[in-house]
Amino acid sequence: MIEAHLRKLRARAEISAAEEEAVKGLISEVVDVAQDRTIVRHDEELNHSILLISGWLGRAKDLTNGQRQIAELHVAGDFADLHGFTLKYLDHDVISLTRCKLGFVPHERLMALTEEHPRLVRIYWLMTNIDASIQREWTLSLGRRPAISRMAHLFCELYVRLEIAGLAQNGGYDFPLTQVEVAECLGLTSVHVNRTLQTLRRKGLIDVENRRVRILDLAGLKHVGEFEGRYLYVEKRPR
């Protein structure tokens, strides 16, 4: 059920059988959630964190005028709010962008994990650091990259993250986001998103059809997006 999550951990560290059982034992409840729901609302007191088993989630902040910025995307295998364990409430919302299956992890079980499996704690600390690294890269895109580079970079990042989770095959992956949601990720209008997608198509870099991305020229897409991927820290090291 949480194979995508275990793949994500194993991409960065060796996981023992005992540690794998400890990870599996974190989840107290599995729930199905419909699309377009607020899963975690900002400022609400938290007593559990959420492991995304399937579907797509977003971290989002809203302005008073109704505009929304998606600050990060979460795919199967991600902890969406592990940082809530120490923060106890979030400064942003966690929203379902698709139908999702979620595993609820009580904070009391995370507390027990810190005492019984300190190496796993270091690995999860790494994962929260990688989340922060992703957000820094998104900040760079929003502040300095032109629209075509922002979009190319996002498609490259998702390819790496989904491939780790076993959800990208043959140069492609499912991409359920609407153009409005892509606009909310990239700080663009939906019209600009459509125009930029067409440019990437004309350059022969990607094709997006039936909610699936097919990467036609990965090297070219990386060049346009200035994507090098080291910020995702996909390497095994002693932890």
Is residue 85 over pLDDT 90? yes
Q: Map out the domains of the chain with their CATH numbers.
A: 3-117 (2.60.120.10), 136-232 (2.60.120.10)
Residue type for 188, please? L
Residue type for 94, please? V
The predicted structure's pLDDT at residue 210: 94
Q: Determine the Cα–Cα distance for residues 196 and 33; give it in Å rounded to an integer.
A: 32
Length of the chain: 239
Average pLDDT over the chain reads 97
The predicted structure's pLDDT at residue 239: 85
Which residue in 193, 105, 126 sits closest to 134, CA to CA? 126
